[in-house]
Amino acid sequence: MTKKTTKAIALPRSRRYVGEAVLRAEDQELLRGRGGFLPDLAAPNAAEICIVRSTEPHAIVRAIRKERALANPGVIAILTANDLDLVEDVLPCVDMIPGTLDARHRVIARERVRYVGQAVALVVAANRYLAEDAAALVEIEYESLPPVTDHMAAKNPGAPLLYPELGTNIVYQVKQTDGDPDFAARDGDLVIRKRYEFHRQTAVPLETRGVTAKLIDNGERLHVESCTQLPQVLRAVLASAFGISLEKVRVTAPRLGGGFGCKEMVYPEEILVPAAARKLQRPVRWLEDRREHFASATHAREETVDAEAVVARDGAFIGLRLTGWSNIGAAFGFVGNTPITAMGAMVRGPYRVPNLDAVMSSVVTNKTPLNVLRGAGGPQAALVMERLLDEAARSLGMDRAEIRRRNLIQPNELPLDRGATGFANAHHIIYDEGDYPRCLEAGLNLAEYENCESDRKAAAARGRLRGLGISMYVEITAVGPYETARIALQPDGTILLFSSIMPVGQGSETTQRQLVAEELGIAMEQVAIRQGDTDEVPDAVGTFASRGAAAGGAAGRMVGRELVKKILSSFAEIPDCDPSKLRWEEGGVVILGPPREFIPLQEIPARLASLRGDLEPGTIEAKHRIEIPRPSYSYATHIAVIEIDPETGELKIPRYIVAHDCGKIVNPLLVEGQIVGGVVQGIGEVLREHVVYDTSGNLQTRALMDYVLPGASDAPADFKLWHMETPSSFNPFGIRGVGEGGSIGAHAAMANAVADALRDYDVAVDGSGPFTPTWIMEALSRPPRVSVSEKI
Amino acid sequence: MTPLDSTPQKAARDDPNESQTSLRVTVNGKQLRTLVPDRLLLSDFLREDLGLTALKVACGEGACGACTIVIDGEAARSCTLLAVQTEGAEILTLEGLNAPEGLDHVQRLFQQHHALQCGYCTPGWLMTVYSMIKRSIHPDSAEVSEYLSGHLCRCTGYRNIWAAVRRALGAANDQSVSGRE
Amino acid sequence: MKPARFRYVRAETADHAIELLDGADTNARILAGGQSLIPALSARSITASLLLDIMHCPGLNEVTQTPDEVTVGAACRQSRIELSPVVHQSIPLLSEALGWVAMPQVRSRGTVVGCLAQANAGGEVPVVSLALDAQLNLLLSGNARQRMPAGDVYAVQTGTRLPPRSLIVSASFRTLASGEGWGFSEVQLRQGHFALVCCAATLLLEESGRVRSARIAIGGLTANPYRAGRAEMSLIGEIADQDSLIRDAAQIASAERPWPARTDLHATGAFRAKAAVAAVARALRNARSRCSRQKRSDT
């Protein structure tokens, strides 16, 4: 595999990089079309795999007949569960808290299939055309079982069981509390009870998945390439799956063409394809196509939440009681229980709401397994809180901004312990520093909130229904438990950083290089970076939860300090060198003397070699593991302004505002890109995107013309961003994560905007829609709303 | 770059059931005469047989634009065409547009405006921008939105792409944040 | 998503294509631009035994014109017709509608006649063919020729009534009369996506401002497009400059659909029925704004 390293050239002066809009050096190769994505990599002599997938949502597999398929030209083998020597055939789930039942995903279907798209057999052939020809001829005899696709039905006794041995379809449950969980309705003046429905979505990275596998080192080791955000995790799972030691497995992950959470997963194919390589003793490749991606890459967001909010007459929220059920599909995703956990853990956002009583559950159904998607449950949580705030404001006759001001946590209350969360690796949510009220005011000012009613009237004169929606959220980012980095000062005087963060589009290569260059006081051009190879970075937590800059970057800066220590001690070891006269300054070693001597970084290896009498300059390496005991939290205000054409249900977004705090910004260009990208993705999800199953469990959305993504014409016409930088004391460099927040705020802001636009109609906006033209026209056909105060 | 044993062409040569047709086509200025399987998609011919991997196959149905190339001067999908359909045509891929080294003017604008994140969809956009420039499309024309609607990007949210494309078509800089090196 | 096997032949002439079609089984297909056919073959939702590529047949690549009609050959690509000066001059309704077909990157390869043959639900070109009284010029076996009105082609809920083993060599569209206004309107989920509903309309006014003739064709509401004959009749003889007239005609046009309104992943039939009213009204208003008063002596 060709290493993708950025070229390093020496420059004399050190520079400050944190906060600079540095252009991405990796764009050079990407813009020339040489991104080195997995489908572009050479796979010499590799046979091509096509996976035979279940067409039944729920069935016993009675027989698999391969004869007709095997007779087809170019077929090398057809493999089923019995042909693969798997020692361990379940895939990991890291949020199985005590009490969780075992609904882990099997690598391949044996006696039972549980969702349309589940892998049943592998066809190995000379090329994909021939493999698909043969796959069509594999005969599978299914004995259908009754499917259940609705989680609200699946959770009830008497529903068809996906795992009869478990006795139930409710496989995970967490209780989350804060303050007095037994608070009562009579403690307040207004009670709001709502059921919120969140529809099923999916990540749709432009790059679908892929895996190659081959034996290397004379057949002693297995080399797997995969489109994964978790190469180190995959390596461990492969070793367990085949009962071999870790050293016998090498995983390399190339640059990813987007992930958004669906590549934060260990997939069956990532075990099956290597199993085929081992069985057949030859290289193999599997490249996923879009049709199979819709059925077999993880889905997201589908849940139902019953909420009860108790509110005082002055608008203060006293308590929130939630019961939630997540439709996690047929088996656990790697972090499949995280979204529903996030509902209870993060629902209150920046609002005080002192009392919380939440019970969140995961329910298995005959759908594709569910995992995280940008925001990881945050969008749903923010939507519940923000809709409740608007409902309360309406009932109490309060202004929507005012009720938010009434409830926001004040800066002097932070840090603040928010109670028990249930997250597997963050048992308590403790908010770090921030200024939520200032963030709200900034958003309202940018949106010209004071004009929203007159704008609405003006739009009505043009025949448009205009609405404005406000949302605020707090996002858990930069989760631990730790992160690692390795660094080398090479013989030619350049720096090579081995990062644990994968580039998925977020520009991690540039961000990491900025941080290391600033730490060392050198030019960025002197820093090269590599990642994704478990031989080079054997131990890392990985790329997810908006932790690249904050966690990965922190590890990078700390390893820079370790390198400096090692360089100084290398000089200190030289006889005649006085350690007390050594400093690191301006990107090099300073020997105080007199005379003062400065040795810039790029000359250090040669200088050391000369001082030590070595023939050749050597390499100085350092590594570091930074413990991350607690996550840090970003927050923002989003304000969406929409206009609906009541004749066609079409919805446009003339204005969108984000006022955002992600702590110390490393690269504002990249930060803005993440926010805008997240917002548009969130907008698309609530306007049109919908993974649709029929009642028999057949997946209806199989193509990009079925599942309609946002396009260039959907970008908000007037999009304003504003940043606050409150450093977080929870991160050594004050950095908070930023990758996901755009989506978290967008769902709630859009839902509130739709509700506002339709305020004169008796319409319930109790969930994520999607707010398609059909949805909007149906809403417009409802009777006018009768204005009734709901005070008790 | 080409997988040696598994090109559809090679398999086709060995398989009497795989019908083939002669193809005469110019790719990036180079004239080719070859025999290709009838069912070979143009996207696979370019990527796997000719090693031109800048274009990406991201949907296979013509919806996303990642496979966009230029045929006879117009932007076109390569995943919704058979190789054999391009008889007599002139095909241009990003590899044929690239300067010998570094970035050209349009690519530079994309970098400066941060108009790419993961980069997977980017080669397709560049081919469309090239064809728009060839047609001298005005940056304020309604056609700009039509051309851009031919591409999906999941990462950028399109704001920066709009800015880069409008600049490439001759608009003044209306972007609030632009980078520096 | 790779197609199953088929044979491919480049037809040398239109007659050659018909000969091959005649000699083949029922799963032989004509291949023009392929922008609908190839993705369907890739998804293996259809198969083919034989694909007959007509794009190299001489004589199929022309745009010809008489005083009464413009004829577009089967191999003419959508992008070329969209920009054609002859089409702009004489049948501008087609130029405008083509701007709504898919995206430019698909129109560079797809053909106008291909749209007519495919009859995809919501297809813009079939809708225009009804509004412009198009005739499809067919070649059949034994060198037989037939001219089939678009209205006959689409007189069925879904698919076409084209004779099997026929080749559409061209389509002839009625030239707009002097002073005749035209309009096109479409409702989409997102630019570049399918038409949820669309409408092509023409209006010809008397000097008095009363409607002499009207055409209203609606696509997407039902699987196949239809002409809203009753709505057209409701306009004849009426003063065009009344918004209530247009609104009422639009309501009638939607309600008179001959088949059930279409429900799919993207919209319900009920939605389409309402959106069609808006599309028809907008197309008629556009047509009216483009009318110029017809002098009696010009008829």
The string of pLDDT tens digits covering residues A283-306 is 999 999 999 999 999 999 999 999
Q: Which of A464, A260, A452, A290 has the alpha carbon at shortest distance from A375? A: A260
CA distances from A311 to A184, A351, C175 (A): 11, 13, 68
Given this model, what pLDDT does residue B11 score? 66
Looking at per-residue pLDDT, the higher value among C28 and A1 belongs to: C28
Overall average pLDDT of the C55-70 stretch: 97
Do C73 and C161 fall within a single domain?
yes
Do C131 and C190 have their domain in common? Answer: no
Of the partner residues A133, A291, A711, the one whose CB lies closest to the CB of residue C191 = A711
Does residue C162 have a pLDDT over 80?
A: yes
Residues of C in contact with B150 (CB under 8 A): 103-106, 192
Residues B97, A384: Cα–Cα separation, whole Å: 50
Helix/strand/coil (H/E/C) assignment for every residue in A394-424: HHHCCCHHHHHHHHECCHHHCCEEEEEEEEC
Q: Are residues C164 and C223 in the same domain?
A: no
Q: Are residues C148 and C233 in the same domain?
A: no
What's the pLDDT score for residue A450?
A: 97
Which partners does chain C have (≥3 C-beta pairs < 8 Å)?
Answer: A, B
Specify the pLDDT at position B9: 64
In a domain, C150, yes or no: yes
Q: What is the pLDDT of residue A545?
A: 82
Residue A257 sits at the chain B interface (C-beta within 8 Å): yes
Phi, psi of A354 (to 5 degrees): -65, -25
Note the pLDDT of residue C293: 63
Closest-CA residue in chain B for A45? Answer: B5
Residue C108 lies in a domain: yes
Minimal CA separation from A383 to chain C, in Å: 24
Q: What is the mean pLDDT of residues B56-84?
A: 98
Instruction: Report chain A (792 residues): mean pLDDT per 10 consecutive residues.
Output: 35 70 96 97 95 98 97 95 93 95 96 97 96 98 98 98 98 95 92 98 98 97 97 97 97 97 96 98 98 98 98 97 98 97 96 97 98 96 98 97 98 92 78 96 97 98 98 92 92 94 92 93 94 93 85 90 94 91 93 90 95 94 90 95 97 97 92 96 98 96 98 94 89 85 96 97 95 98 72 36
Q: Is residue C196 part of a domain?
A: yes
**Whether residue C256 sits in one domain with residue C208:** yes
Q: Does domain B105-168 have CATH number 3.40.50.300?
A: no
Size of interface B-C (CB pairs under 8 A): 104
Q: What is the mean pLDDT of residues C98-111?
A: 98
Q: Are residues C221 and C245 in the same domain?
A: yes
- Contact partners, residue C85, CB within 8 Å, separation at least 6: none
CATH code for the domain of C150: 3.30.465.10
Residue C40 lies in a domain: yes
CA-based nearest distance C269→chain A, Å: 9
Q: Report the pLDDT value the prediction gives residue A23, as an integer from 0 to 100.
A: 96
**% of chain C with per-residue pLDDT over 70:** 98
> CATH number, domain at C29?
3.30.43.10
Contacts of A132 in chain C (CB under 8 A): 1-2, 4, 44
Interface probe, candidates B9, B35, B39, chain C, greatest C C-beta count within 10 A = B39
Which pLDDT score is estimated for B15?
79
Q: Count each helix (H run) and each strand (E run) in chain C, helices first.
A: 12, 12
Instruction: Please provide the average confidence, as pLDDT, over all residues in chain C.
Output: 96
C1 occurs within a structural domain: no
Output the CA torsion sign for C280, C281, C286, C290.
positive
pLDDT at position A629, please? 84
Task: Give the span between the Cα atoms of C204 and C177, in whole angstroms.
Answer: 8
- Higher pLDDT residue, C279 or A541? C279
C5 to chain B: which residues are within 8 Å by CB? Answer: 17-19, 38-39
Examine the domain organization and report whether C135 and C195 are in the same domain.
no
Of B44, B62, B84, the CB nearest to C35: B62
Give A775 to chain C, closest Cα distance, Å: 9
CB distance from A2 to chain B under 8 Å?
Answer: no
The answer to whether the CB of C16 falls within 8 A of the CB of B27 is no
Beta-bridge partners for C111: C77
Closest CA to A199 of A133, A135, A140, A150: A150
pTM above 0.80, yes or no: yes
Sheet of strand C50-53, all strands in order from the earlier edge strand to the far edge:
C7-10, C50-53, C28-31
Cβ distance of B180 and A23 shorter than 8 Å: yes
Give the Cα separation of A601 and A11 in Å (integer): 10
Chain C residues whose C-beta sits inside 8 Å of any chain B C-beta: 1-10, 31, 34-35, 38-39, 41-43, 51, 53, 55-56, 79, 99, 102-106, 108-109, 190-192
**3-class secondary structure, A528:** strand
Into how many domains does chain C fold? 3
Which helix (H) or strand (E) segment is A751 a member of? helix A741-757
A55-70 burial by CB neighbour count: b if 16+ within 10 A, else e? bbbbbebeebebeebe
> Which residue of A774, A778, A782 is the best one to mutate when testing the C interface, meaning the one whose CB has the most C CBs within 10 A?
A774
Same domain, C38 and C73: no
Domains and CATH numbers, chain A: 27-36+481-627 (3.30.365.10)
- CATH code of residue C187: 3.30.390.50
Mode of pairing for the β-strands spanning C28-31 and C50-53: parallel
Q: Flag if B19 and C108 touch (Cβ within 8 Å).
A: no
| Residue A576, phi then psi, degrees to nearest 5 | 75, 0
Nearest to A125, CA basis, from A76, A83, A78, A84:
A76
Q: Are residues C44 and C104 in the same domain?
A: no
> Neighbouring chains of A at 3+ CB pairs within 8 Å?
B, C
Local confidence band at B180 (pLDDT 50, 70, 90 cut-offs): very low
Average pLDDT for B60-74: 98
* A446 and B CB contact within 8 Å: no
> Chains with 3 or more CB pairs closer than 8 angstroms to B?
A, C
SS3 category, A360? strand
- pLDDT given at position B13: 66
- The per-residue DSSP string of A128-193 comes to HHHHHHHHTT-EEEEEE------HHHHTSTTSPPSSGGGS-SEEEEEEEEES-TT--GGGSSEEEE
Q: Which of A27, A638, A653 best tests the B interface by mutation, with the highest count of B CBs <10 A?
A: A27
Mutation for B interface: A31, A263, A708, A718, most B CBs within 10 A: A31
How would you classify the pairing of strands A139-144 and A482-489?
A: unpaired
| CB neighbours of residue C66 within 10 Å | 10
H/E stretch holding A304 = strand A303-311
Does the structure show a pLDDT above 80 at B1? no
| Alpha-carbon distance C83 to nearest alpha carbon in chain B (angstroms) | 12
Closest CA–CA distance from residue A605 to any residue of chain B (Å): 28
| Contact between A720 and A693 (Cβ < 8 Å) | no
Is position C58 within any domain?
no
Distance CA C148, CA A657 (A): 56
Q: Residue C80 belongs to what domain range? A: 63-174
Nearest CA in chain C to A701: C265
**CATH fold of B8-96:** Ubiquitin-like (UB roll) (3.10.20)
Do C220 and C262 form a contact (C-beta atoms < 8 A)?
yes
Interface probe, candidates B18, B114, B132, B161, chain A, greatest A C-beta count within 10 A: B114
What are the residue ranges spanned by the domains of chain B?
A: 8-96, 105-168
Residues of A in contact with B57 (CB under 8 A): 39, 289
- Based on the fold, state whether residues C169 and C185 are members of the same structural domain: no
How high is the pLDDT of residue B7?
61
pLDDT confidence of residue C159: 96
Q: Where are the alpha helices (DSSP H) in chain C?
A: 14-23, 37-42, 78-83, 85-90, 92-98, 104-107, 112-118, 124-131, 150-153, 229-235, 243-255, 269-290
DSSP state of C4: P
Query: Nearest C-alpha of chain B: how many angstroms from C299?
Result: 36
Distance CA B178, CA B163 (A): 10
Choose among A27, A47, A715: nearest Cβ to B162.
A715
State pLDDT tens for residues A205-248: 999 999 999 999 999 999 999 999 999 999 999 999 999 999 99
